[in-house]
Structures are given as C-alpha cells and as structure tokens.
C-alpha cells in the first residue's frame, strides 16, 4: 500500500542488474572450476535460477550479494517445465549445456504476459553451429553427437531480430565451440557486454560485444573466475523517474550514467535536472513535468523495460504524449490499471496516447508483469490517498528491497500481508 504525495529525497544504492546476473549465473555451467560472483541482487528470479542450476548438480554457496557456483559435476542436462514456466530466462541454460556436454533438454518457455516471445532465434543459431534440435512433448531436445568431436562448430549467424537472451545464449554456446563464430545483428545491451567480460575472464575469446557484430573464437575449456555484476540500469531508471514525478531530489549510488543516456535525455526533456559523475546520478525536479514522446527500441535507444515507468510520468505531465512499443506486443497491460487511478490513456495498436491529468486518485490495482508493477508504484507515489497494488510477487522478481529503498527516500510504502500479493 502506497500513500501518495511524499517528495522523495536522499540517496539510494542501486543493485546489480537482474538481466546480467541471470545469464552470468547460467554461464557457470560452462566452467570446470568455481565461478565467484558479486553484486548478485536478492531477487526471486535469481533464487529460481540458482535452484535450476542446483537441480542439475551445480553446488552453490551464497553469502549476502556473493554467489559461488561449482559446476564441475553435472548429473542432469535438463531444465524442467515447472522451472522454465516461472522464468523465461531459464532458456539460457540451453547454450552452455549443449556446448559443454553435447546434449540438452530444455522446456519451451510457453506463453508470457507481455506477448508471445518465441525462442526460434536461439534454436536457429544453435542449428547454424551444427546442433540437431527437435521439439518433442514441449521440450527442446538438442544434441551434437553427430558433429566432429561431438562439438558445436563455429558459424556465421545473422539474427533476424535483435534478441538479448538469444545473443547471450549463442555467445555462451560459441565460447566452447570448435572454430570461430560471428554473430551479426547482435544485441548491444550493457548486460551482453557484462556477460562477455565475465566469459573472457573465464578463458573465452570474445570481441565486439557492445557492437552489432560479436566474434567468438571457440576454446576447448573454460574455468571459473571472479566477476562483479554491472549495475541495474532499469532499477536506476525507475528511481530516477520516481524522483522526477514526486518533485524530489534523489542521488543514485553505484550506477553508470553512460548506460542510461536515452533515459536521462527523456527526463531532461520532461523538465528534470539530471547530473552525474563516475558512479552517481542525481535527479532533481519541482514536479512540474512536460509530456514526452517515447519509442522503445534495442539499446542504445529507449529501453522497453522503462516504457511503463515513463507512461506513469506522462499521466501527470502537462500535455499529450505518444508512447510507442516496438519490442513486445501486448506490453500495455499497465494502461487499464492506470486508468483505474484516473489516467487518460487511449491505445491505438502499439501506440498509447497519454493526456496528462491534474492528479491521479489512489485505488486498488493489479500488477501484471514486472515493469508494469513498477509503473503502478510510481503512479501510487503521486496519487491522492492510498493505492493498493495486488500480486506484488512480480515486483519481487526484479526489484531488490523495493519498499525499504522507497521508504528510506521518504515514501509511504507498506507491504500488507494477507492480500493476494
Ligand atoms: C530481455 C530482457 C527483458 C527485456 C528484453 C528487451 C533478460 C533476462 N530479459 O528479454 O527484460 O525486456 O530483453 O530488451 O535479459 N524474439 C523472437 N525470437 C527469438 C527471440 C526473441 O522473435 O528467438 C523477439 C521477442 O518476441 C521480442 C524481441 O524479439 O519481440 C526481443 O526479445 P528479446 O530481446 O529476446 O527479449 P528477452 O531476451 O527475452
């Protein structure tokens, strides 16, 4: 429950990125000796990934934000439906299992609240490296038994669409393939770069991560390493929007402004003052915001994972804005909930037309996916009276200590037990 109206002031420390932590945890499967990670956020998706790895035989040791993973002995090369259905990122075990052990059985992820989200490009990329893949009984069955030395073979592969986890899966697979792989139209997201850095510390030979052509020279074996996960730019962006909407002043610690260029630009357009140095960003605003048009696209353009939060900002800004979602179909589920708070939003295909209103009114709303939930928190922070958000397990998948962090900044946020969330 959020009681709106408080200005946010103070400092907040940004956690390690969920979207870097999940693939890098899966990369532990490639290593014959332990991988030691730090800045691993305490999130439900992280716990689920570690459980998935443990049921394969990985030995995990967790201590605060540090996780060590020993994949020297793996007894199951399978990711069961029960685990994959709760978290699509489980598909990230496919590449490493196949590359190191020559076979893998991974459940298809199935439907997802924010659109169909297929994994065809992950599969086609592995096939380009010679893997034989069948879909049977809802499972992806992959093998390299017929290939020279039973190993994946380096290949040139052009990805039809920019896919983040697809790029990561193929990068991991190619790291242990025989020969050189070139991934074209690769995702340039900072989390892809972070994973490439970690893989290189493990002995991989990857160049070009952060550009749209990544070259991976396969090696025979990978070992463990020590790696600190990059900061969560989406968590950071969410607190930045919160500061702007509430007319406060918030300093973010442990963050890199250069990962947030598109978001910072839009916040400035909206009228907030944003300053930064090496590892901090400060956002200051008088709460009088101008509506800003948003169009999501792959990095370095505006991230789809910040679309819902900017929609919340636009609901109370002066003017009319267009918010266009180009990455996922059906990623406007927050719109109906925001309308319950009094927002004026119309949808036409993949574009939402938002007319700023003078104020939002607290109400009970339902979280539908991770970033939609975050946008409802932001709306609740400025709404009149109480906003109750149900099904907050979505938030626990992606925001570490959300209510503690917001409370420390002066918000009135309480977790109420006994409701559906
Ligand atoms: C990742 C992020 C997610 C973010 C998204 C886009 C993780 C764990 N999750 O998700 O938070 O919202 O990037 O920045 O890092 N597609 C296909 N075929 C494929 C793969 C993707 O058609 O084989 C499509 C998807 O349906 C979608 C688009 O490509 O329309 C981009 O998806 P993708 O980048 O793969 O998203 P994820 O990696 O799942």
Regions in the chain scoring below 50 on pLDDT? 420-421
The rounded distance, in Å, linking the Cα atoms of 236 and 11 is 12
The catalytic position among 62, 112, 198, 231 is: 112
Q: Is the CB of 121 under 6 A from ligand 1?
A: yes
Q: Is the CB of 305 under 6 A from ligand 1?
A: yes
What are the residues whose beta carbons fall under 8 Å from the beta carbon of 417, sequence distance 6 or more? none
Residue whose structure tokens are 């991230």:
303
Ligand 1 nearest-atom number relative to CA 91: 39
Q: Is the CB of 264 under 6 A from ligand 1?
A: no
What per-residue confidence (pLDDT) applies to 116?
Answer: 61
Are 141 and 115 spatial neighbours (Cβ–Cβ below 8 Å)? no
Which residue has a Cα nearest atom 20 of ligand 1? 119
Task: Decide the pairing of beta strands 2-3 and 294-295.
Answer: unpaired
What per-residue confidence (pLDDT) applies to 420?
Answer: 46
**Ligand 1 centre from 30 Cα, in Å?**
22
The rounded distance, in Å, linking the Cα atoms of 191 and 92 is 13
pLDDT in tens, 287-331: 999 999 999 999 999 999 999 999 999 999 999 999 999 999 889
**Ligand 1 centre from 180 Cα, in Å?**
25
What per-residue confidence (pLDDT) applies to 85?
Answer: 84
pLDDT in tens, 322-371: 999 999 988 999 999 999 999 999 999 999 999 999 999 999 999 888 88
Is 112 considered catalytic here?
Answer: yes
Kindly report the backbone phi and psi dihedral angles of residue 134, in degrees, each rounded to the nearest multiple of 5, phi listed first: -125, 145
Q: Give the orientation angle of helix 164-175 with respect to helix 18-27, to 10 degrees.
A: 20
Ligand 1 nearest-atom number relative to CA 89: 8
Which residue has a Cα nearest atom 25 of ligand 1? 117
């Amino acid at each position: 429950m959020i009681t709106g109206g408080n200005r946010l002031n103070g400092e907040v420390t940004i956690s390690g990125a969920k979207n870097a932590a999940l693939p890098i945890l899966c990369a532990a499967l490639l290593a014959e000796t332990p991988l030691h990670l730090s800045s691993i956020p305490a999130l439900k998706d992280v716990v689920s990934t570690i459980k998935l790895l443990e049921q394969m035989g990985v030995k995990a040791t967790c201590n605060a934000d540090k996780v060590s993973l020993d994949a020297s002995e793996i007894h199951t090369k399978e990711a069961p439906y029960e685990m994959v259905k709760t978290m699509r990122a489980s598909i990230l075990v496919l590449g490493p299992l196949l590359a190191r052990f020559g076979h893998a059985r991974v459940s298809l992820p199935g439907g997802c609240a924010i659109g169909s989200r297929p994994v065809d490009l992950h599969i086609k990329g592995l096939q380009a490296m010679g893997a034989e893949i069948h879909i049977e009984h809802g499972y992806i069955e992959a093998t390299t038994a017929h290939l020279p030395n039973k190993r994946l073979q380096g290949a040139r592969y052009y990805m039809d669409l920019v896919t983040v986890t697809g790029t990561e899966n193929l990068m991991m697979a190619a790291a242990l393939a025989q020969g050189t792989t070139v991934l074209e139209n690769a995702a340039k997201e900072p989390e892809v770069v972070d994973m490439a850095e970690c893989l290189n510390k493990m002995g991989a030979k990857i160049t070009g991560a952060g550009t749209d052509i990544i070259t991976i020279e396969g090696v025979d074996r990978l070992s463990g390493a020590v790696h600190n996960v990059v900061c969560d730019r989406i968590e950071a962006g969410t607190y930045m929007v919160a500061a702007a909407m509430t007319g406060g002043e918030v300093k973010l610690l442990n963050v890199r402004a250069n990962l947030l260029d598109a978001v910072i630009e839009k916040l400035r357009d909206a009228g907030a003052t944003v300053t930064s140095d090496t590892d901090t960003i400060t956002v200051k605003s008088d709460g009088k915001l101008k509506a800003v048009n948003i169009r999501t696209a792959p990095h370095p353009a505006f991230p789809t994972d910040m679309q819902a939060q900017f929609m919340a900002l636009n609901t109370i800004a002066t003017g009319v804005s267009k918010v266009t979602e180009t990455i996922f179909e059906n990623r406007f589920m927050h719109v109906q909930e925001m309308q319950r708070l009094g927002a004026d939003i119309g949808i036409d295909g993949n574009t939402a037309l938002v007319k700023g209103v003078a104020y939002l009114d607290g109400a009970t709303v339902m979280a539908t996916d991770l970033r939609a939930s975050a946008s409802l928190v932001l709306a609740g922070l400025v709404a009149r009276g109480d906003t109750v958000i149900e099904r907050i397990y979505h938030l626990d998948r992606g925001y570490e200590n959300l209510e503690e962090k917001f409370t420390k900044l002066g918000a009135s946020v309480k977790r109420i037990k006994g409701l559906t969330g």
